Amino acid sequence: GSCPPWLVGRTFLFCSCRKRPQQSSTISPSSYINQLLLHSTTTSFRNNIFRTRSHILLILRGFLEKMPPRSKAVPPEVKQKMILDHIRSTSTCHTLKDLEKMLPSVASINGIQVKDFIIGLLNENKIRMEKIGSNNWYWSFPSDEKRERENVHERLLRDLNRLTKTVEQLEDQVQKKQVKAKEEEGTRDSIDIETERRTLMEQKAELITEIERLQAQKTAFEDNGASKIKQKTKEINIWKLGTETWEDNISVMEQYLHKLAGGDRALVEAIKKQCYGDDYEDDHDMSESQY
């Protein structure tokens, strides 16, 4: 017949103590339960153990399915870019101590790793450092990003022009050697001529491949720059619209405050000063400063 789970568990432990099968240190729980079933003497006990085993395995399977997958490790290059983007977004200077407190939560790194990432960015000229007093100050402004992109663009253009000239020189050499080969036809070994021609053509093919790669980089660079400018323009328009909206809201609230105060200007100014804090400027003082 049926047996309560608590009794099955105790009976299972009692049986495992009395008739413990031989097991190695690496045997799995499922295999161990199977061995216990083989040593069982009664059919009802074996059925209860089997039901308990199935129930335990179902619970374990459900638990494993609900476990979150292991997150993939973020490459150092991605962490470095996250750090650089965050430093630029702050638009201010930082000491190393400030960065050691701020960056671990930004790039999911340890505080002791911050210095290594900062040194890497310095070596790549992506951030700047200046010693002021007893501290080193680090910064990278959005204008630095624009300057960096311009430098990369200029370097790509220089490499492209250099390789283009090299290809033109090789083509000129091939033409001259072809003319010379025709003039010396019969005096030079045809195998030597063919070998030299193949060597020059291979060099030309390699340079053409390099030019195509640089042109692709140049195109991607220009397209990416244009898309970033459009994105920045869109963000500026959104911020401008939000600013105008809040200015209108504040103006409406101030008019309502004047109405509630019944024309008491001193009361209105006191409330505005309390609300605005350091950002408060007296309307009377502002009007006088304009003259």
- 10-residue averages of pLDDT along the chain (291 residues): 47 47 51 57 57 65 62 80 88 88 88 90 87 87 76 84 86 80 65 79 86 82 70 80 80 80 82 74 50 39
Residue 46's pLDDT is: 56
Residue 279's pLDDT is: 66
CATH of the domain at 132: 1.10.10.10
On whether residue 233 sits in a domain, the answer given is: no
On whether residue 235 sits in a domain, the answer given is: no
Residue 119's pLDDT is: 92
Structure tokens at 260: 């509630």
Final residue in a domain of this structure, among 96, 125, 140 = 140
SS3 category, 132? strand
On whether residue 116 sits in a domain, the answer given is: yes
Residue 221's pLDDT is: 75
On whether residue 264 sits in a domain, the answer given is: yes
Rounded to whole angstroms, the Cα distance separating 138 from 122 reads 9
Residue 290's pLDDT is: 41
Domain count, the chain: 2
Q: Which domain holds residue 255?
A: 243-281
| Residue burial 243-274, b: 16+ Cβ < 10 Å; e: rest | eeeeeeeeeeeeeeeeeeeeeeeeebeeebee
Indicate the length of the chain as a whole number. Answer: 291
Final residue in a domain of this structure, among 89, 109, 140 = 140
On whether residue 106 sits in a domain, the answer given is: yes
How far, CA to CA in Å, does 89 sit from each of 92, 99, 111, 137?
8, 13, 20, 16
On whether residue 122 sits in a domain, the answer given is: yes
On whether residue 92 sits in a domain, the answer given is: yes
pTM score: 0.35
From first CA to last CA, the distance across the chain in angstroms is 102
Residue 116's pLDDT is: 92
Final residue in a domain of this structure, among 140, 159, 174 = 140
